[in-house]
Chains A and B, each alone.
Chain A
Amino acid sequence: MMVRLTIDDKQIMVDAHMNILEASKKLGIEIPTFCYQARLSELGACRMCVVEVEGMGKLQTACTLAVAEGMVVQTGNARIKKARRMMLEFLLINHPLECTVCDASGECTLQDFAFKYGSAETRFTGEKRVLRDQIISPLINRNLNRCIQCKRCVRVCDEIQGVTALGMSYRGADTIVGPFMDKSLDCEYCSHCIWSCPVGAITSRAMKYRARTWEMDKAEAICPFCSCGCTLHYNHKDNVVHRVTHTEGRGINQGSLCSKGYFGYDVINHPERITSPMVRNAEGVLRTVTWEAALTTVAGKMGQIKDDNGGSSIGGIVSDRLTNEDLYLFQKLMRSVYSTNNVDTPSGMWSRAVLPVLEDRLGVFAATNSTDELNYVDALLIVGCDVTVSHPITGLRVKHAIHRGGLVTEINPRRTALSRLAKRSLTVAVGKELALVKGMIAVIIEEGLYDSEAVKDYKKLSDLEFSVKEKDLNVIARNTDVSVDDIVQTAREFAGAGKAAIIFGETAALHSGGDLLINALIDLLMLTGKLGQEGFGLYPVIASTNFQGTVDMGIAPDRLPGHVEVSSATERKKFEKAWNAKVPKDTGMNALEMIQAAADGNLKALYLAGVNPLATFPGGKVVAEALKTVEFLVVQELFLTETASMADVVLPAGTLAEKNGTLTSMDRRIQRTQKAIDSVGLSRPDWRIFSDLGVMGGENGMKYVNAAEVLDEIAQTVPFYSGISQHILADNGLQWPFSREDAREKFHEGYLGTRHLLMDGVPLDKRIFSAVSGWDTHGADSQYPMTLVFEDLLFHSGSFTRYSESLNKLASEATLLMNPQTGIGLDVPDGSTVRTVSAQGEVSVAVSYSEDLALGVLFMPRHFANAPASALMVPGRNRDAETAVVRVKVVKV
């Protein structure tokens, strides 16, 4: 319903649910407020926004008063001005006037309002109240005396982040904001409290005394730490990034960030960055050289190996953190200059496990729906991942859905931050998820809860029915350690929900029978008709920042840019024409195969761009062997990692803060990221290095002036990126596939491209249930009876973040998590070191007991030096490799 009211003699029609503050904003009238934020529950505490309403004697707070038909409001008469002046005088009684050293100075609401609405003199002459304060965390500073009690931090922590680490304690003038017992902050370090603070009461310790707010310039970039694709602002001065700030209302995240995005920027100007190229000299020592010398060495050696042994003896593995432009040029360099399809990326393991299933069953190459649709799901299944950790901002969407009453069921081998909030958390050992999903399907068929309209032209419904009936629900319940009631309720909720979706992650997909599980999840979506609309769909999630970009840009031994197969002569011809160069026709080796081939002496040259296989690839020994054996090793890196220090040539590359380009989020949104600072030292953006090498390899088609030119070429060669440009991406980015015309004409009006795939439903030829057989996807191994799951940590993703001093303050060492019941036979006290042994190798690490884990399942972060995951991960071709889920045994030391 709309109502008409008058504010400061101007008439306006607005929605009846709106408050006076928002309605005034529509008229361009600013009403000052400290405590109000649209995203938070209403509080009405600061009293700064008082207005006068005809017929109401008392002044009213604009933030809590709903508009009404015929209301007449004054927002700036003498009475209101006096009240505002008084409010500021009240707040400034006890607020220390230390703006000279306050990090919020320059962007402090109190400062601004005092200037605009306050009085020049203060009538308070006594001593200010001084509250005892103490350090509450390594990264977040609290200054109680500056606090104006607006409770924004407390509300954002509770209502948005769902952590509730902060509260208001004590009473009256003694009220303080702080954690439990006013001791240390035990939280996700999401930074939302810092963001929400209108003064300098909660600030970043990492930023303290580094720069004044007004001295820094801001560049809008995409966060480098996961595939959520969040927009952030790098704040820089003198070519140093001093902080990250939130971009209110912009991007996928609408300003929200997580601990990595907010605090992890210190990798950019880290003192250990490699600042010049290096070449190993005759004595075997890496020596600083000019770019000219380094590139000549690489180009010459690559050319020679190609001539001597053929392109197939050259391989390249590129990081999934790089931009689309970087990735595109990398594979173009490998294919068109070095004549090899040996192109891969670390997340290729994931792609090969997941994408063929998605392509086969649904004809898609990505998550079907947009992450922000998760805000409004009525039911959600989360299988085999902790999305709040791997994708914190996507996790916020889930929390929002829960806040709205959405029924979220978690099926995971351990409880997560969501467990407390979710409708139910089913802690299930790896391999048992399939049985649960099939149990749900059985209930849905049995109770007739499926979408009969949707399934009527599906094939093999009876097969599906047969496949799930083989086992009784009671047996499933017993085997999975989940109650029958939970299975039934989850099934009913999912089938009955208006909007329902499924998220699954590495634990679900990257174990031996993961493909069966994905197929069963797709069957569940098909059966309940939860595909092809907003709020439906399937979300495969992996943290790798530009994982989708690697898929789209042809970073795969068997795929060219645009998901097309290398084996297709037509497609090859298309690229050969565009590139004016030959494209090798044979499928190349994937990353694990390249490592094996190098170790065997069959791969002569290996180009590693931003990857550190010694730390993150399975089979520590074979990787070390490969790097030692390979004739020519080029490592393009930010830091002299364990891998880089073995290289023949080290090429210094730049972070995302140092280049322009595009990235593609996990929900297909192609977004622009902008350069904040010039390249650190002599480092260069990755695309530029690839381009230079291409040109030196005699390929003039590899000459580009800037990243925009690369994007232009992508726009011409990748059909669903067709027509894209940095200009078009400036506002919101675009989700492929999109209409060229709409993109060109409506990008500034919020045109986003395709919000969800399968708009016309599942393709007709794919309307078939897979009806997978089997119940347990992760068979027992008597020699290695336990299952180790490598996890992402909230504060770290990949080995990259290990260089963040800030994030290392939050977590810097691995421990082995284990249910105390699992550990009974082991008989060691909490905290003692145990040997964890897999078929590949072993690590010694301290055990930490937690009842949050399923029996027989262990968890360990994958990227800390004290317990290198690579030592335990088992190499192999595709599915038989164990990278995310490894069978192990644990031995008392």
Chain B
Amino acid sequence: MKILTRNINRPNPAHIDSYLVNEGYVALPRALNDMTPEEVIDEVRFSRLRGRGGAGFPAGMKWDFASRDTRKPKYIICNADEGEPGTFKDRVLIEKDPHAILEGMAIAGYAVGAEKGFIYIRGEYPEGARILERAIAQAESRSFLGKNILNSGFDFSVTVHRGAGAYICGEETALIESLEGKRGQSRIRPPFPVNVGYRNHPTVVNNVETLASVAPIILRGGAWYAGIGTVECPGTKLYSVSGHVVRPGVYELPMGVTLRELIFEHAGGMRDNRAFKAAFPGGASSSCLDESELDVRLDFNALAAAGSMLGSGAVMVLDDTTDMVKATHVLIKFFEHESCGKCTPCREGLFWIRRILDSILDGKGTEADLDLLLDICDGIQSTSFCGLGEASVNPVVSTIKKFRHEYMAHIGNRVTRRTDVEAAS
């Protein structure tokens, strides 16, 4: 089923003419001419579209909150700061179907009463930023963006804003801080951006994939969309599959596909016919799944029930050659590097975890270190300021739980640290 990826295999897909061929910019005039903003919001609510950035918050509800706030101006921000390791699905949409995003933004703007949109795109996607800017120019030239869109009286303009390398800016309040010209660090919530966002005004922040889903929903109706995927998690999802699979790439599938189906039916199975060992189904922030969990459905609820999370749908697949302790070390170094430094547990705790993993990989760990790691993880998880810290420990906790023997292989039988032994001898 191709909804989000319907246009990506066309020649010159990013050009507005390619987009227009396949019902491009049909939803926008329909919303503007035939629907009230409330009706647009209702349609999105009926679709039960859930935010594709990771949290899975119902998009229609977000729009509704923002539309009810009477303060002007309001803003639509497209969150294109795709930074979760293993995720590259937004890059595909940005590069291959930018107008779908712009159309979704314009509809969102109409629905909530915003006249200004920003696309906050990660700095590492310079080509994507150029493509979006070209697309904006094309859309403006055809009156799909700008003043008095299609003579409807509705104004909506979009500015592309490049990030500069900070994973945390994918978190919506950090993104807003960054857009305001500050260090991108999360804000205290509540208040939420729908009321107090960019420049303290009502702001809707939606993921690229979420916004790209909007035009099809308006065209075919919320009920149609709600019928796809699972009841709790309708629609299709873009899964970014990477790691030890034959065909890494982005796959659009109805929500609820199992991990096994994704790997073996779509991504060509395990590379070199090696055995599956584990997968992080929602990027670096998710808990890993092992072989016994291959039949878990990859949607928000099923993965949460399995103790992991869907996140942005970044499925990193690892085969039996993988050292899970090293893999965890890579992910923790990532989080340590990306910790913004604002709150104590995330800043200091990740530093500490990384040091312990260093020492385990260095052959100096002890079994007691594993308990200490879990205690530190608990401390970080229960007190961190934002989701980064909270989720950062998932790989550690899940790999200790599921692959403790691999840690023990590094540790050996030591109960005290080698340094202590050396000092004693």
Contacts and interface: CB of A to CB of B under 8 A. Distances in A.
B10 interface: no
Consensus secondary structure, chain B interface: helix
Given A126-B355, A172-B338, A47 B348 contact: no
Contacts of B415: none
A168 B383 contact: no
A83 to B, nearest CB: 5
Contacts of A730: none
Contacts of A90: 344-345, 347-349, 352, 379
Contacts of A86: 345, 375-376, 379, 383
Contacts of B352: 90, 93, 124
A182 to B, nearest CB: 15
Given A87-B344, A93-B348, A94-B351, A171 B359 contact: no
Contact of A59 (B183, B359, B382): B382
A31 interface: no
A43 B340 CA distance: 14
A168 B183 CA distance: 9
A125 interface: yes
Contacts of A48: 344
B166 A171 contact: yes
Given A90-B349, A91-B348, A172 B382 contact: no
A126 B342 CA distance: 23
Contact of B345 (A47, A94, A123, A124): A47
A48 B417 CA distance: 31
B405 interface: no
A44 interface: yes
Interface string A756-772: 00000000000000000
A728 interface: no
B23 to A, nearest CB: 44
B348 A173 contact: yes
Contacts of A170: 341
A129 interface: yes
Given A93-B352, A173-B336, A44 B188 contact: yes
Interface string B391-425: 00000000000000000000000000101000000
B340 A149 contact: no
Nearest to A34: B344
Interface in B253-284: none
**Residue among B188, B342, B350, B376 with the most chain A CB within 10 A?**
B342
A171 B184 CA distance: 10
Interface residues of B, number: 31
B385 A45 contact: yes
Consensus secondary structure, chain A interface: loop
A168 B177 CA distance: 14
A79 B379 CA distance: 10
A174 interface: yes
Interface residues of A, number: 34
B130 interface: no
A64 interface: yes
A700 interface: no
Interface in A62-97: 64, 79, 83, 86-87, 89-91, 93-94
A93 B350 CA distance: 11
B372 interface: yes
Contact of B343 (A47, A124, A129, A171): A47
A175 interface: yes
B376 to A, nearest CB: 8
Interface string A108-143: 000000000000000111100100000000000000
A173 B347 contact: yes
A148 B348 CA distance: 10
A173 B183 contact: no
A47 B339 contact: no
Contacts of B2: none
B258 to A, nearest CB: 29
A129 B355 CA distance: 11
B341 A168 contact: yes
Contacts of B382: 58-59, 79, 83
B267 to A, nearest CB: 34
B230 interface: no
A46 interface: yes
Contact of B383 (A43, A47, A64, A173): A47
B344 A123 contact: no
Contacts of B343: 44-47
A746 to B, nearest CB: 41
B337 interface: yes
A91 B339 CA distance: 15
Interface in B146-185: 166, 183
A173 B344 CA distance: 9
A47 B351 contact: no
A50 interface: yes
A127 to B, nearest CB: 9
B384 interface: yes
A173 B348 CA distance: 7
B385 A173 contact: no
A432 B375 CA distance: 71
Given A90-B348, A124-B352, A126-B359, A175 B383 contact: no
Interface string A141-184: 00000001100000000000000000010111111000000000
A91 B349 CA distance: 9
B188 to A, nearest CB: 5
A680 B289 CA distance: 77
**Residue among A42, A47, A83, A87 with the most chain B CB within 10 A?**
A47
A58 B343 CA distance: 16
A707 to B, nearest CB: 50
A567 B340 CA distance: 73
A31 to B, nearest CB: 14
Nearest to B358: A126
A609 B383 CA distance: 62
**Residue among B188, B355, B376, B417 with the most chain A CB within 10 A?**
B188
B166 A46 contact: no
A171 B376 CA distance: 21
A173 B342 CA distance: 9
Nearest to A125: B417
Nearest to A94: B348
Contacts of B349: 90
A173 B349 CA distance: 10
Contacts of A175: 341, 347
A170 B337 CA distance: 11
Contacts of A129: 351
Contacts of B337: 172
Interface string A801-819: 0000000000000000000
Contact of B341 (A46, A83, A173): A173
B383 A93 contact: no
A59 B343 CA distance: 14
Interface string B359-386: 1000000000000100110010011110
Contact of B344 (A46, A58, A125): A46
**Residue among A50, A129, A148, A171 with the most chain B CB within 10 A?**
A171
B389 to A, nearest CB: 9
A118 to B, nearest CB: 13
B36 to A, nearest CB: 35
Contacts of B376: 86
Given A44-B188, A45-B343, A47-B345, 9 more contacts: A86-B379, A170-B341, A171-B340, A171-B341, A172-B339, A173-B339, A173-B341, A173-B348, A173-B350
Among all A-B residue pairs, the 10 with the closest Cβ atoms: A175-B341, A86-B379, A90-B348, A172-B339, A173-B351, A172-B341, A47-B383, A126-B355, A64-B188, A45-B342
20 contacts: A45-B385, A46-B343, A46-B344, A47-B345, A50-B383, A90-B347, A90-B379, A91-B348, A93-B348, A93-B351, A94-B351, A149-B347, A170-B341, A171-B339, A171-B340, A171-B341, A172-B338, A173-B336, A173-B339, A173-B347
Interface of B: 166, 183, 188, 336-345, 347-352, 355, 359, 372, 375-376, 379, 382-385, 417, 419
